[in-house]
Every structure is written in C-alpha cells, then in structure tokens.
Chain A
C-alpha cells in the first residue's frame, strides 16, 4: 500500500473513531479525547500513532500517482529526448528514481519542476502539454519535496531530544533562580539567535549545539552564578539625590536659567513657561562624579504642578536624562494637575546617563522673527556677494548698535499672566534599588538566613537546586559528583560561595539542564512520566520550566489526569508567563518578526516612523493575546468588530479616543476596515517592499498563515513585478495581470493572487486607500484601486469585505492548518502522515467549541502524541 493510500485509510478510520470516542459535555470546553481518558495510559491502538511495525520512512513516495500521472506525462512529452535513446543534458527521465530524499536525485526532480514551470521544457517547437496535466506533475513534485523536507526534520513521529531555545533558556533562568534582568542583561543577549524549522524555533533539527554555543552557555552560566550569589552588602547602597529648584538661583553654573525669558526662579520653585530646567552638577551619586554609579533600577520623583492657559488646557511636563542613546533619554512625560503632586517612575538606567532636565512640552514661544534683523542679515549677504564691502561693514555696525538678530521678543508673550506655567518644586533620584538583599536568588540557592558556609550543607543545597534545574527528582549518584566538584574547589582555595558558584555553572552546563530530556530507548512509544508531562506543559504554554504547582502535581502523580490537565491549562494561561506563548507561538505563527523586513520609503510614506512600526507588531501580538485570554474564537482572524490599539496606531487608522502607548481593546466603527488579521497595517507592510505592494507575497502569507498551505515554490529567477516603463503608469495589479499572459505562470498564480489582490486597498505601510499611491503615483487623479478577484475555489469578490467573508467560509480549512501549526509547536517536531487523524480530531473539536484557541490547546495537551515519547 502506498503511503498516501495508507494515510487516507487512517483518516477514514479516525472519522469512525470520532463518532464513539468523543463525548462532548456541551460546555464551551472540550472534553479530552478518547485514549487518554484513563489515568494509567498505554499507547492506544488507534491509527493516530504509526503502527509499530511500520515506521514511516518512505523513500519511495506516492508510487501510485507516479504510475498514473507522472510516467505517462514523461512518456508523452519528455522521454524522446530524455529517455533510453537520447539523454539530452545528461537527464534521463524514464529511469529517474522516485526518490526525494537523496539530494542528487531530488535535484533532478527540482530541475524538472523548474523547467516545466518556466515553460522552457518541452522546447518551443514541440507540442505544448495540456496545462492541467503539466500542473499535476509540478504539483506532485513540489508536494513530494515538501514531504521529504519534513521527513528530514522528523524521526518517524517521535519527539526528538532538543535543547532549549534561547528564549526558553532565559525564562527558565528567571524562574529557576528568581532573577530579573535589566534591559540588555538578559541571557538572551549573550546567546546567538536560534534556527527554525517548520516555522518554529522549537524543532530539534534546527536547535543545534556547536562548540561556540556550549562555550556561550558556560560563560552565561558564570555571569548568572556570579550575580545570583551575593558575597556581602550591595556594592552601592541605595541613596537619594535631590535638587530643590530654588537652589538654582544660588548655583553659579546654572543661575543663568533665572535670567532666561520665560523662566522665573521663585522662592520655593522654578516656573517654566518655555524651555527646561536642569540639574547640572548637582545630583551626583555621593562620592562619585556620575549621576548613578551602576546599572540598575532607579526611582525618579518630581514635585510639580501647573497653571493652565487662559483657554484652560493643561500643562504637560517632560522629564529627561542626558544619554548618548536618544531612546534612553525620556524618563517620563505627563500632564500635571493644578495642585502640587509628586510624580514618580521607576526605570532601569545605566551609568552612561547624565544630568536631568525638566521641561514644559506645550511651551509658549517668547521670540518671533525680527523682520529688521532678517533684512539686515540678508542685506549683508547680498552686499558681500556683490563685493560691496563698505556696505557690509556699514550694515554690520548698524546690526551691532541696534542689537538686531534673526529673532526678537514676541509681544504676545509680554503678558505672562495668561500663559501656561509649569511649577517644579524639586526633582529627586533614589537608587540603585534592590528588591531585597541578599537577592532572592541568593536565598533560593543557599537558603534563607544564610547558614554557615559549611561544606556539609552542599548536599542539601544542590539537591534542592538540581531537582528544579533538571525538572525532576535527583538521587545521590547525581548529587555527589557536583558536591565533589565544589569540594575540590574548596580544596583549591576557593571561598564557599565561589565553590557553590562552580557547582551552579556545572549544573547549568549539564545536558539535563540544557536539553528537554525524555529518556527512552525502546522502539515503542512510551507514555511520558509525570515530570516529563510537567515540562512539556510548561515549555508549551510558558516557554519556561514548570512551577511549584506543576511539580507538586507531578509528585502526586496527577498530571496525566485529563481533568487536572485542562484545569492546569486554565491556570497557566491566566498566568503572566503565558506571554511566553504569545511571543513564542503567536509571533511565529503570524510572522510578526517579518512585518518590518522592509523599511518604508519615508519620502513617499511620510506618516511612517519607528514608533508606528513597533505598534504594528504590538497590535498583532496583543490581538493574539486577547483571543487567547478572552476565549475569543480564533476565526476573529478573518474578521472582528474589535481590535487592539494604542495611540500611534489609532491615529494612523483614524480612530479617536485612544491615548497612551498601552494596547487596549477597542470596538471598531461599523465602517472600519480594520477588523481581523488582514486589516492590520503590519500584515500589509510585510507584503510590500517599502515602495509598493506585493500582492503575490500577501497571497502567499494568507495561504501559509491562515491555512498552512504554502503554494508551490516559484521557478528560479521568477523575478518580480517590474516597475513601470517610462511613460506608462500601470498599477501593480495591471502589471501582475500582464505577467499572467504566460500560461504556465498563470496556472500557479491562480492559486495565489486571488488571496492577495483583495489587500490592494492597503498601501505599502498598511494605510487604507481607494486610489493608487506609492511608486510614482502622485496627485488626486491616480487610478482607483480594484480589489476584486477570484479565489481558487471559484468564488469571486468585489471588495475587501466580501473577500474576508469568503475566507471566513473556510473555517475548517483554517482549523486544520492551525491545528497542524499548534501541534508542531507543542511537540517540537514536524507533522507526519500518522498525525492526520489527530489533526482531524483537533479541527473538529475546535469547530465544536467555537474555534477557541483554548479548545485546541486542551485537545493538544490531552492527545496521545503530546503525552507520549
């Protein structure tokens, strides 16, 4: 039986199983499915796992299709030149092995596919093959190639040992050691980026380890161990530095401020109508020449209040620090009340920062252009150019006598009583701040109350530490070598703390810490033990190690109980560590890292800036998080009457009433186009090259992300939609349709372009447009956007909204694609033919539960595949 036939047989059986195996409880939650319903599980005799006698490692692909479709095609069109008699280009097709795994042979198949797609074979003078027959061949080759790639990433449906990726590493350290990291200090910064396979950084095949990475692990572990244990009091104690603003008048370095128009030095405060006040030289950390002595957290406080303008608008205050990096300068910006109030913020800072600076953002101008000044200066320039130096000198002396400059005091600011005023009483900095001392990590490792540095305690210390680090109980044979290592350090003269540090480094470099190990040397899949279940769960939903609650359940032997599992999913998703899932699964599924691949040409797209770009990524992640946490249907991705916005993005979308950088859920106006994933600017920007839109690329995104159905690869040198030839002004759509005059191109594009053309209403930065823009389209009379198209299923749409509705009809296809992706992520392995039944069940289960992500997650964690090694 061929592989494909076996898969279909499997699916049919599964369909039958579903009828009796799945008992719904009618509530919004899915009931766990069949075989794991017993607490003492055994590999269930369903078709979801590969039959043990036939590990799926098919070198010979779909032989039936080959015999039926491929061979006849070759015989008809190819073998006259590439057959027994002649082998033009050293290529012989009648004997070409049906093998997509051996690189040399696979390369030949790619050649065949490419040449057919390019229309280069059969050569021009020969009869054209029927386009559908040809498509069947190229499609078959592409599918077999993909299958072979998946096989190379997998191990016959078994989960392969993998190391943590760097995000998991950093999160695990955070939870294991009880440490928090300042920006730039996280272990992530010290580890190289990870590879990906099957779209995720969770698959063993891509998570390689090389000597330099192990060396990195060693060095990071040393940094962590140093920081985790404190040898004495903090190196810098927490101090408070304060500047009373009335002292400025007495400070010769900065008393000039009091003489500046628009600034008044009061007896207890300073009043700003324009500009800023500063802390020059005053707020240094005691005993140093710097504002702060060390990187750390600092509390900044300012006592201030405002006087509104005659129109009644409030005063906005900005507090900055000098810093060589512009993005590190802003400390806080806020509206101030009319009553004195203390404004406070706790921020990470590094010693590169300099003095503080408080300013009024909505200041009043105190100067206006001086016409006389401008005239006299330009007069000098002109006289100079005319070489009339006598006149230059005359004008110069007049300028000096009358003290003329480009500007002069603005008479409108003469009466200061009506102007907005910011009163600042004082500014203060306290730090470095410590949550506690010795740090939490110190207590977690060595125990509270700092017992004596007694080598006898090493066993206790490391039993506790290793149990958590290895995420399972350890016995004496495992602890003893570490204790021996520490003792040998002591003998070599190390302090007790340093000896413990050496032990910590060794544990953190051990394969049982670095790898998610599920030992199994049997041929048969085996159920996971409790501890392994705890780790699978926590790395799936948190990208981190299990917490005490999971460990407790594992110890009590309850983690394989389906009810417990779904309760844990609830608990874990409610925990803030579930952010690891949003940034792990959400970001990689929706490809938010690619949103900003091309920087928009800001000469054409003036609205674009980095803040907006960040907000685009933030919106999509926040949307995913909202769907996850609020149990919204995942089909919201097709369309929704709400979205997640912050101020920059809301402004960009033309939606009022959203202030601040935080994302929040906003109900969309009825006529808004911003519902769902495809209405998000980031998606549109990803599918653009900075100048113009790329409908084909967008269509590919829709197929890959929403349906996990990547189109066949383009032939080499397929090129791009060309820019306009001089004198012509065709839209991207026009040019794309031109390209499709070639029959072999059109055949493929039919399956892609229909998914992308509807998005033409979004320009290269994702702004809504109804007329062509970008490239060289300027002015008002540009051609109108035509977003119409036809999906491969034959259904046509005229507008973006209709298109969204058509996609929304394909919920089952969506649920299948999403189930495949989620399963890949959860298991860290590619989907195999033997997973087909499970994918079907997950998709069905999602449909029955309103397409919530939670119903899918429940289905995944209670599945046979998740619970076995």
Chain B
C-alpha cells in the first residue's frame, strides 16, 4: 500500500519535506495514477472576489439574448474563447450601492457608514485557508484600506468588520509569497520572531492596563487594538510554523520577474498598465498553483478614482467618462476601457486554464466572482457581473443568465462560498439562496 501512503501525504507535509520546493504544487506524483478522479476531489478549492469600481458601460456589456450561445457584446467579446467557463449574470443589484458608496456594501451588503461585517472571502478563508502559508491575500490597485473615502482600496473585512489593508505592488506580493530568504534574513528572522513575540506580549499587557481605566465607548474602540494583537499573534505563530519550510519557487518562464518595485499604476508613468495587470493576475495564478493561499480579493479598479491609463488613449478619467451625458465619444471610450479590462480578465482565465491539476485545470477548482459597486449611470442595479471557473466545484455555467430583477449580489457570494464548501445556514447577507441554475 505504498502508493496509498504517498497519496495521503498532505500537501503541507510534502512541501516541508522537499528541500527545494517545486513549481508544480499539486503534483501528479502525489496522486495514485489509478485514482486521478479521487485525487481531484482532494485538490483544494479556491475562491477570488474582484471589484471593478464605477460600473461599466452596460449598453455594450449586457447581451441581448440568453443562454450558452448568447451573442457576444463588444465588452464581453474578449471572453469568447472561454465560453462554458463563465456565466454573465444580469440584473444584479446592490441595495446599498449606487452613487459612489458601493465599495462598502459590495462584499457585505452593509452600507457605508454602518458597522461592517465579515466579507465572503474571509468567510472562505476561515473554511479553506487554514493549511496554506497565507490564509488569504488582499490585492488592489491601491495600498491600504482608504477607509472613509469612497475610493475604498480593499474589499475584505474581517470578523470584527474591520477593513483589511491591501497591497498594490506586485513585487512586494511576490516577495512575500516566493522570494527565498537569504541566510542573513533567516538569521535575522529568528531574532525578529523573538522580538515580535515580546513586543506583542508587552503591548497586550499594556493595553489591558489601559483598558481597565476606560469607559465603555473607549473600550469598544480599543477592542480593535486587542483584535489586531490577537491576529498578529496568530500570524506570528503561522510564520513560525512555516519558517522552516522553504517558500515554493514558481517557474516564471515567459512571465515578468518581479524584480523591480512597482508601486501602484495610478499616476505612475514608469510602466504600462498592461504589464501591471498581467503581473497581478499572474500572481494570483502562481499563488493558487503553489497553494500559497486559496483565497484572494482584488480591487482591480477603485470606486470613483483612477481607472484609466495613458496607453488607453482616452480623453478623460474613468469617472468623468461615466458621466457620459449620452455623448457618443464618452460612451465609446467607456466601452473601449471596459473591453481592455475584460481582455485582461480573459488573460487570467487563460492562465488558470493552462495549469493542469489532476485531470482538470486550476480554473476548474477556482471560483471567481467579479462585479462593481454600481451599474451604469451610478445606478444600484444592473451591476456588471461575471462568475468564472469552478466547474470542478460543481458550477454549471450558463453563458448569459438573466436573473430576477434586483437579485442581490450577495447571492453570487452565497453561491461561491457554497461551492468552496462553506455551510451557510439560512440567508447569506441579503441573499435568500444560491443561484440555482449555476449549481443544478
């Protein structure tokens, strides 16, 4: 039963054992050749949520007809080669969205200004993020959270409703995921772990002392501090746990090498957005492929701010274009920009599909949802929404699926977390259930 034993090696054990980690994460070698199907069931599930701020030109997004053979619209055209791997969802609605406040309720259905709650990616991270180096990754075109601003930089919220800061420099993300530590760094790391541990011990005790002297409202505020200390302690444990396991070394054939810092593309003329977009999407593929994380959220385009780059050759900012006032040039340029973004989306799907895993592809075991905080003309309905991937997780794609009017976007999240194995009791946010045609 030697083979059987090998098969049961967990991925983590495997990575720990192999001195130099290998490009292919989900190694065929780990599977019994006669039991590929079984193995596929063992392969991890992944999930990604994607925010495209400020809506899209829905006149050139929504197909006129339905079903798997819908007639492609201009903006969806780039996705054609992936027919069958995605579903365009019409009539998606964000009750608290529209205007430019939609980035807040996007993942949580909680309005801007209200106390937030955990976002679907973090719900998924709790379920499937336990065995990876990173429970989840927050990626964005901007750093931090921008909490308070309409141009929120993140779409992830933790259990306490606190926004999780995102990273926008592909090099920094790459370094965190893959850059091997030099012996010097390794030596320093030991000291850092120790120092971090004692600093965390100290500040927790200090906060406790302070807490005892505070009133109720102040204590509620300090609760965020305690939560953060707790979270950092867990992260530290996780790091210590993973410290002796070498980081996986992805093969970068034909990809960028992530050698240079690339702080966000906005107002940055030093590189093309096209490169940036591909590097960020490649990182997602590499992170999933090496099983460094199973959950990602990515703010591809912020609400209100930014969104176009010199190489797009359009006359205005994205937001300015959405105030199109029926000016044909504005509408044309909007569609042009949207199509560029969809071309990149098609790139991500291609890359995920190019990675074989078991008898399927990485895309089969990855479910990705993209949408916006507003539709067209700052509306709260008519959101540009596409669910991609996840065939191996039981997603049945429908081409263009027209849902009931004002179907909450949370029903897409509901469907996604359901597919990666989260048991949802009752309603999920304002969703009354999963999107049936996608799962039956």
Contacts and interface: CB of A to CB of B under 8 A. Distances in A.
Contact of B143 (A160, A192, A218, A514): A192
Contact of B203 (A494, A506, A519, A719): A506
A213 B165 contact: yes
A521 interface: yes
B231 A149 contact: no
Interface of B: 95-96, 98-99, 110-111, 113-114, 143-149, 153, 158, 162-165, 191, 194-196, 198-199, 202-203, 205-207, 210, 213-215, 217-218, 221-222, 224-225, 227-229, 231-232, 235, 270, 315-317, 320, 323, 325-327, 377-380
B316 A601 contact: yes
Closest 3 CB pairs of A and B: A192-B144, A195-B148, A519-B213
B126 to A, nearest CB: 15
Contact of A107 (B95, B162, B164): B95
Contacts of B202: 481-482, 485, 506, 510
Interface residues of A, number: 67
A162 B146 contact: no
A488 interface: yes
A161 B146 contact: no
Interface stretch (A201-209, A532-540, A790-798): A201-209
Interface stretch (A573-581, A619-627, A720-728): A720-728
21 contacts: A103-B110, A160-B218, A161-B221, A192-B165, A194-B147, A195-B146, A204-B221, A208-B147, A210-B145, A210-B162, A214-B229, A218-B232, A489-B194, A489-B195, A492-B191, A494-B191, A510-B203, A511-B206, A515-B210, A517-B214, A520-B215
A599 B165 CA distance: 28
A779 interface: no
A843 interface: no
> Which one of A211, A492, A519 has the highest number of Cβ atoms from chain B below 10 Å of its Cβ?
A211
A458 to B, nearest CB: 14
B325 A723 contact: yes
Given A209-B224, A506-B202, A720-B323, 18 more contacts: A103-B110, A158-B217, A161-B214, A161-B221, A206-B147, A210-B162, A213-B228, A324-B270, A489-B198, A506-B199, A511-B203, A517-B210, A519-B214, A599-B317, A689-B320, A690-B316, A720-B325, A723-B326
A152 B202 CA distance: 33
A716 B95 CA distance: 12
Contacts of B228: 209-211, 213-214
By DSSP majority rule, is chain A's interface helix, strand, loop, or mixed?
loop
A502 interface: yes
Contacts of B198: 485, 488-489, 502, 506
A601 B147 CA distance: 30
A512 B215 contact: no
A211 B165 CA distance: 9
Contacts of B98: 716-717
Nearest to A166: B144
Contacts of B326: 722-723
Contacts of A160: 217-218, 221
Nearest to A714: B99
Given A206-B147, A485-B199, A511 B210 contact: yes
A129 interface: no
A210 B224 contact: yes
B361 to A, nearest CB: 32
Contacts of A489: 194-195, 198
A557 B325 CA distance: 63
A722 B325 contact: yes
Interface string A731-760: 000000000000000000000000000000
Contacts of B149: 193, 195-196
A521 B213 contact: yes
A204 B143 CA distance: 21
B214 A520 contact: yes
B222 A515 contact: yes
Nearest to A519: B213
Interface string A201-237: 1001010111111111010000000000000000000
A514 B320 CA distance: 39
B162 A206 contact: no
A302 interface: no
Contacts of B217: 155, 158, 160-161
Contacts of A494: 191
Contacts of A511: 203, 206-207, 210, 222, 225
Interface string A543-560: 000000000000000000
Nearest to A689: B320
Nearest to A725: B326
Contacts of B96: 107
Interface string A490-517: 0010100000001001100111101101
A717 B379 contact: yes
B196 A598 contact: no
B215 A521 contact: yes
A400 interface: no
A197 interface: yes
B164 A505 contact: no
